[in-house]
Amino acid sequence: MTCLAAGLLLAACAPKATDAPLQPERLDTLEPPCWWVGMKTPLQLLVRGEGIGAYDVRIEGGKGVKVAAVHPAESPNYLFVDVSIAKNAAAGSYKLVFSRGEECFAVPYDLAARKAGSADRQGFGSADAIYLIMPDRFANGDPSNDTVAGMREAAAPDAFFGRHGGDIRGIRDHLGYIADLGFTAIWNTPLLEDDQPRQSYHGYACTDYYRIDPRFGTNEDYRDLVEDAHAHGIKMIMDVVTNHCGSLHWWMADLPFADWIHQWPSYTQSNYIFSTLNDPYASQLDRTRMEEGWFDRSMADMNLDNPYLLRYFQDWAVWWTEWAGLDGFRVDTYPYNEKEPMSQWCAAVLAEYPNLNIVGEVWSNNVPQVAYWQAGNPNKDGFNSNLPSIMDFCLMSAIGSGIGSARGDISRIYDSVANDLYFHDPSNMMIFPGNHDTDRIGDVVGEDPAKMKLVMALMATLRGYPQIFAGDELMVVSRDRSQGHGGLRVEFPEDWAQDPTKQALHDYFRTLLRWRQTSAAVREGATLHFSGRNTYAYFRYTEDEAVFVFLNNNEAPREVPWADYAEFTGRLQGPGRNVVTGERVDFSVPQTVDGKAALVVEFK
């Protein structure tokens, strides 16, 4: 809209167009806070301010940038403004001019130039190894921000569910360690503001989607972290939550629309049965309770069927990618979102960044239900999530029961990998032995270093891309397993090098991960696997190279049955090299693998 009506200049807008006073303080919120020229993503501004819904809006400052439409909300304190940016529009500082009757005021708005190649950025994938960090529980690099005035929860370093003080500075201080280990990407659990009064350390109850929590640092600190990570050869994955926000998010006091969130006559929790979303027999009651029920009393359930909220989240994801230089997203509680709008969200992000990757949390051990959510899956109902990658919880469960259990049989891992026929793209799946929501793998394997090495060998060589929770490379265990999440999410052990067991595990995994970066067979090869008596053997291979892995889950040593693998060894020319020891391995010579041990051999 402009200050034109019926073709006549509104005389009531007394100041000349360029004379409208700059009064950014008149607005409580303007999001996204800036934008870029040359973007494919349509820009819609969320404007919040007292009575702003009664104002007209225009843009001044240059050709090719104009207001295409203004949408009042149900609340009089919001406007949603569609901005049209021509392909030839110039970067620079513009003004949003708000007018009502005799009143005019302006707010500056910057359109920046994009960095060269921004749209073509390459996301994470099978060539990467991901280090998962829960920032509050990782490392405290700046004690001065442990408690911040105005935030509802102060630091409580000894409390199981309190804030311990970890921050962005602490992550930056460890980038050298992470890169040296062989990790090429970091996934931080949410860093955005979580100003809930209790258990705000985890970050999954966001109270401001455009602000880094000040107890972690500033927006600029986060951008510097990404830049520094890139200098270390590390990609950055942002953990985002579109299904729910914190119950004390600023918009909860005055929602733009009544259906901005799912509202019930009384508190109604999700039934957590996301199989209802692809169950042909599911009742509407169960589906509604699944999608619209709240995840927790402190987490208001967002309604992505509201088109303004969906656009808000689309622009938000693109803004953070462009502004901070991100390499991808991990989406929390993915199936709990409205599935068609969430499919549109993924499509919108990938339209701007075609090579970006997005991985969704689909927590189930039911293989077809997990496979349903990966993009391109041939679902009977025709649904396509547009979600490129999914988390392989099925494999995680098999690792826990196959290796972790005292009487575990590693054939459970064989069976899990055999289910790859259900997945559209097994190579683009996140594999992991545990994460911030599960038991520590060190606890699961009973603090047995030999079992940990089996897990590490599997993570370094199996299809997909591995994710390791910070400290698991050192077999960190829980502070108190009975305390659930609060006891499992422990600080990084800075004195790890003084512990011979941790040092040995570190060196073992470092050798495997750094070698993984050089192995095309592991990063992009095919798989041929063989079952055994509590052993698991497989080849990862391309036309030019092969990797052989033998995992002995028995207490006693086992001889490698080379004759059983003749259908593949017949392709090999000459001996291979033990990846860990460097020793020569000849498949024509008997080879014994110790109990609870792995053999990893590369053949060129």
Edge-to-edge strand order for the sheet containing 526-531? 526-531, 535-541, 546-552, 597-603, 576-578, 584-585
Residues 6 or more apart from 267 whose CB is under 8 A from it? 294, 297
DSSP character at residue 592: E
Beta pairing, strands 235-240 & 185-188: parallel
Q: CA 311, CA 304: separation in Å to the nearest integer?
A: 9
What is the token pair recorded at 133?
A: 């960090």
Active-site residue among 332, 409, 473, 491? Answer: 332
Nearest residue to 101 (alpha-carbon basis) of 233, 3, 174, 241: 3
> Half-sphere exposure of 586 toward its Cβ, with a 13 Å CA cutoff?
4
Q: CA 274, CA 333: separation in Å to the nearest integer?
A: 10
What is the token pair recorded at 498?
A: 């003084």
Active-site residue among 167, 194, 327, 361? Answer: 361
Single-letter amino acid code for the residue at 407: R
DSSP character at residue 470: T
Beta pairing, strands 592-593 & 558-559: antiparallel
Q: How many CB atoms lie within 10 A of CB 205?
A: 26
Q: How many CB atoms lie within 10 A of CB 123?
A: 24
Single-letter amino acid code for the residue at 181: L
Single-letter amino acid code for the residue at 171: I
- 332 a catalytic residue: yes
Cβ atoms of 600 and 548 within 8 Å: the answer is yes
Single-letter amino acid code for the residue at 337: N
Cα 413 versus chain centre, distance: 25
DSSP helix/strand/coil, 225: helix
SS (H, E, C) 111-178: EECCCCCHHHCCCCCCCCCEEEECHHHCCCCCHHHCCCCCCCCCECCCCCCCECCCCHHHHHCCHHHH
Angle at CA 382, nearest 5°, toward 381 and 385?
110
What is the secondary structure of 491-537 as a DSSP string?
---TTGGGSHHHHHHHHHHHHHHHHHTT-HHHHH-EEEEEE-SSEEE
DSSP helix/strand/coil, 335: helix
Q: CA 165, CA 157: separation in Å to the nearest integer?
A: 7
Beta bridge partners of 540: 527, 547
User: Rg of the Cα trace of the chain?
Assistant: 27
DSSP helix/strand/coil, 291: helix
Cβ atoms of 217 and 167 within 8 Å: the answer is yes
Q: CA 168, CA 175: separation in Å to the nearest integer?
A: 11
**Active site residues per annotation:** 332, 361
